[in-house]
């Protein structure tokens, strides 16, 4: 039914290696002052009675750079009037929030890179506060009860956050779907859906527009905002998904790395150069047509078994 086997050429990588990644810390953020949980359910961040079954109480902390993020890839953000969650952007200064387990503060990292370990003495830093008035930002004060938080897992008796593989937290657990970054073998850049037009840009592990989900059954590459990669029109773009739309049907051959679709002129493969994204006659020997689906989160050389890391294979 329109499928084709594009043969593996000798000397080409059969499958990229599965990477070990630094685990995310996952759990609830509990105010020591009010005993309530930080809640992202209404975009504007609030506090509500803690409940292990409420997904809006579930936060993940990325290791490098530090961000506090929801499972649908939005980050704690204070660029507006109120603390809120917004689409993660790796370069956003007002998204550099992290939990300091030494002081119990949720603190904004004001360093230029946002990648340093949060210091124990937060001189002239900004902290997240929780009191009867709601969630606010204030100059850090070690003596302020409203700025004291706990970050702990949902398991009974948990004293700290759980540790999980990043894509196990960020990707939807849908049987038959794989999730991750789609990286071009030639440019080493990531497939990015931006506003609508798709392109390849420098990879950023915390940019939500670079996370894709692929279904072998549905044969679609779907973005995190549930639009599908589409080759109709002048530019490769994302558009509302339609099961019967042929320009949205892609086969991802993990043995060759080709992403291809059937057209009236034969099979065409997704190709990238330094400036553009397009479909061309398939050539398994052409690096510009070879892609890999996997994780680009920071690699961890050794993850201790006591950390109880939950690993989800997303590559290959």
Tens digit of pLDDT for each residue in 169-193?
A: 776 556 778 888 899 999 999 999 8
42 within some domain:
yes
The 3-class SS string of 210-225 reads HCEEEECCCCEEEECC
Choosing from 113, 132, 164, the residue where a domain stops is 164
268 within some domain:
yes
214 within some domain:
yes
What is the sign of the dihedral through the CA atoms of 32, 37, 40 and 44? negative
The verdict on 124 and 146 lying in the same domain is yes
The verdict on 107 and 178 lying in the same domain is no
Choosing from 137, 164, 191, the residue where a domain stops is 164
The verdict on 30 and 55 lying in the same domain is yes
Q: Which of 69-73, 84-88, 204-208 has the lowest mean pLDDT?
A: 204-208
Cα–Cα distance, 245 to 249 (Å, whole number): 7
What pLDDT does residue 295 have? 74
The verdict on 150 and 238 lying in the same domain is no
- Here the CATH number for the domain that contains residue 91 is 2.80.10.50
Query: Does residue 85 surpass a pLDDT of 90?
Result: yes
For 62-89, b/e burial (b = at least 16 CB within 10 A) is: bbebbbbbbbebbbbbbeeeebbbbbbb
Mean pLDDT of the residues in the chain = 81
The verdict on 84 and 30 lying in the same domain is yes
Query: How many domains, the chain?
Result: 2
For 153-231, where are the alpha helices, taking DSSP H only? 166-170
Query: Does residue 203 surpass a pLDDT of 70?
Result: yes
The verdict on 253 and 280 lying in the same domain is yes
The verdict on 28 and 155 lying in the same domain is yes
pLDDT band for position 155 (50/70/90)?
A: confident
What percent of the chain is modeled with pLDDT above 90? 48
What pLDDT does residue 174 have? 66
The verdict on 144 and 192 lying in the same domain is no
**Cis peptide bond upstream of 160, omega within 30:** no
148 within some domain:
yes
**For range 121-133, the mean pLDDT:** 82
308 within some domain:
no
pLDDT band for position 49 (50/70/90)?
A: very high
- 105, exposed or middle or buried, with CB in 10 Å at 0-12, 13-18, 19+? buried
Cα–Cα distance, 94 to 96 (Å, whole number): 6
Specify the higher pLDDT residue, 19 or 130.
130
310 within some domain:
no
The verdict on 194 and 120 lying in the same domain is no
316 within some domain:
no
The verdict on 120 and 215 lying in the same domain is no
152 within some domain:
yes
Query: Does residue 120 surpass a pLDDT of 60?
Result: no
Choosing from 112, 131, 164, the residue where a domain stops is 164
The verdict on 156 and 177 lying in the same domain is no
How many angstroms separate the first and last alpha carbons of the chain?
Answer: 23
What pLDDT does residue 171 have? 62
The verdict on 152 and 262 lying in the same domain is no
Query: Does residue 303 surpass a pLDDT of 80?
Result: no
Residue 47 contacts residue 37 (beta carbons within 8 Å): yes
What pLDDT does residue 145 have? 96
Domain that holds residue 51: 24-164
For the full predicted model, state whether its pTM sits above 0.75: no
């Amino acid at each position: 039914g329109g499928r084709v086997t594009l043969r593996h050429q000798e000397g080409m990588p059969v499958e990229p290696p599965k990477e070990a990644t630094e685990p995310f810390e996952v759990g609830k953020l509990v105010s020591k002052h009010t005993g309530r949980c930080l809640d992202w359910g209404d975009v504007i961040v609030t506090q509500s009675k803690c409940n292990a079954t409420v997904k809006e109480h579930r936060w993940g902390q990325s290791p490098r750079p530090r961000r506090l993020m929801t499972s649908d890839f939005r980050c704690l953000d204070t660029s507006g009037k109120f603390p809120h969650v917004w689409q993660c952007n790796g370069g956003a200064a007002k998204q550099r929030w992290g939990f300091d387990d030494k002081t119990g503060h949720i603190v904004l990292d004001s360093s230029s890179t946002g990648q340093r370990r949060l210091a124990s003495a937060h001189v002239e830093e900004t902290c997240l506060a929780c009191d009867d008035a709601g969630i606010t930002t204030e100059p850090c004060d070690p003596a302020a009860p409203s700025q004291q938080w706990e970050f702990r897992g949902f398991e009974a008796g948990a004293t700290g956050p759980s540790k999980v593989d990043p894509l196990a937290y960020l990707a939807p657990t849908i049987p038959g779907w794989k999730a991750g970054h789609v990286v071009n073998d030639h440019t080493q850049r990531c497939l990015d859906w931006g506003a609508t037009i798709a392109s390849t840009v420098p990879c950023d592990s915390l940019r939500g527009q670079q996370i894709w989900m692929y279904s072998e059954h549905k044969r679609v590459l779907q973005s995190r905002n549930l639009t599908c990669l589409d080759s109709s029109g002048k530019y490769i773009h994302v558009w509302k998904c339609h099961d019967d739309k042929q320009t949205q049907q892609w086969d991802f051959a993990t043995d060759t790395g080709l992403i291809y679709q059937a057209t009236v002129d034969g099979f065409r493969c997704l190709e990238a150069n330094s400036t553009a994204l397009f479909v061309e006659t398939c050539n398994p020997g052409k690096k510009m047509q070879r892609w890999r689906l996997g994780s680009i989160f920071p690699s961890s050389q050794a993850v201790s078994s006591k950390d109880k890391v939950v690993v989800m294979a997303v590559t290959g």
